[in-house]
Structure 1
Amino acid sequence: MIALFDNEEIGSRSAYGADSMLLESTLRRLNAFGSPCAFEECIANSFLISADMAHAIHPNYSEKHEENHAPKMNGGIVIKINANQRYATTYATSLALKVLAKRHQLPIQEFVVRNDSPCGSTIGPLISSNLGIRTIDVGNPMLGMHSIRETMGTDDVKFSIDLFKAFFHEFTELDSKIICD
């Protein structure tokens, strides 16, 4: 399932935002004719990729990034990590995308927010905390997020599409091996 939410830039608490009941009620309706525990089984077997954007290292503000956590445009999708859970990524959820990226020879980057820097958030922690779905926050690196001149690398679009295709085709098999092994 792919869920696209409205109103995220002005607030996820709208009637159709990521912090509303929309996703849960939709999933409950889709599982209404299964077993009495169909919804809970669905959640336990689900994996959420919260795909947004990521701040690329800006040439004018390179000191804002740690040396080993400086996403570059055209360097691949960025796995976003934050100890305060402003991103919902965990070690276990990042493993799945790393395995798929390696399998398909797709570049991947990791970004950890500096301790002394504020961090935005995504819809990932909202959905993950409301539903208990395993979640990873990712994004394509870009310059000028929320400005009139947002800039990103075109290669990252291709890398992301290829990674998401691999996820939809191969995740169930990969997940069964991770859980069982």
Structure 2
Amino acid sequence: MSKLVKVLKPGEFEKETYFLTDDEKFNLIPKLRESGNALYNASDYEKACEKYGQVLQFFDELMIKEKPNDVEWKKLDEQRRPILLNFVQCKLKLGEYYSAIEHATTILNSDSTNSKALYRRAKAHVGAWNIKEAKEDFETLLKVDPSLNALVKQELNLLAQAEQEKNKQDKSNLTRLFST
């Protein structure tokens, strides 16, 4: 015996994403992005990441049908970057530093002077304790956007303090280890 679970009116049914046409995917992107932004603003970074991830999947599916670096592909890539930046910011908030690094690098591969991507990748390197890479990104950021001088100097000072603190802690741990 089968049971009726729910009756949907026309327009209430949501197609599975793999049934969507390219046009439907493209038209859904702004709605999903806004939903991701609202979730981010509500500090629900996990769900915001899911929305942004879905948008990025749509872009990947649309871009794979284009020849890399052709006009259409470049247009899609430019439209994808702000969503990738939002995705990277969510990953930073969630402490998923290596994912943040990977996605910021994707942006930088096509736009090496994107200051937001450089800053966020630098912050992710700090979180992952990749000190050398973090310093390199911060110094590149200074060259790309000198107006961020005060912010970058502050970040580099915080990084230097964290390094000193870690060195003290390591020294203390070694001293304790060898004194017993």
Q: Normalising by structure 1, what TM-score?
A: 0.27
Which has the larger strand fraction? 1
Higher relative contact order (CA 8 A, sep 6+): 1
Which is greater in Rg?
2
Q: Normalising by structure 2, what TM-score?
A: 0.27
